[in-house]
Structure 1
Amino acid sequence: NAVVIETEKGQKVCVIQIAGLIARRIVTFVKQEDKMKPGQRFGLIRFGSRADVYLPRGVTPKVMVGQYMIGGESILANLDDIDAALPNGIEQ
């Protein structure tokens, strides 16, 4: 399952939910064109499944590889940092 989240500024974040080999338990709560709020849960993964997050170019993650995170609470990145990170004329 892939979920692409587009902000009001047009920035896009992609989350890919990948099912584990044994249980294959992924649930996605949102549908195409649904409006979301910061921190809103949009799905659930269980039993060895994972979620890969792809941020816009120029955004620095605020978490480390392997760090324990809590859905709806942990801040992965600040998308406002992208404006300062990219020189003029470079597209996201």
Structure 2
Amino acid sequence: MTRGADDEGAAGVPDSWTITTDVLRAAHDPNLFDGRELYGPADYAELPLPDELHPDAATHRRVAERLRARVLGGGGAFAGQAPAA
């Protein structure tokens, strides 16, 4: 992936994605959140995307753990509900 002036940098998140996130958040839906909470610049420094696009197994695991905590944890859309087996 080529990074240019329109990019935020780490993890290749373009400004247009950030703008879209800001617009969606303005809808005041508590279930919307910034995906960089799951994988952001600090994660990229530790677990870079091997081909600059697809996460490896360790990165998938980190994202899944954070998503589970975010969705099933306190205040999440499915707080207190156990995942289906």
With normalisation by structure 1, the TM-score equals 0.24
With normalisation by structure 2, the TM-score equals 0.25
Q: Which has the larger helix fraction?
A: 2
Q: Which has the larger strand fraction?
A: 1
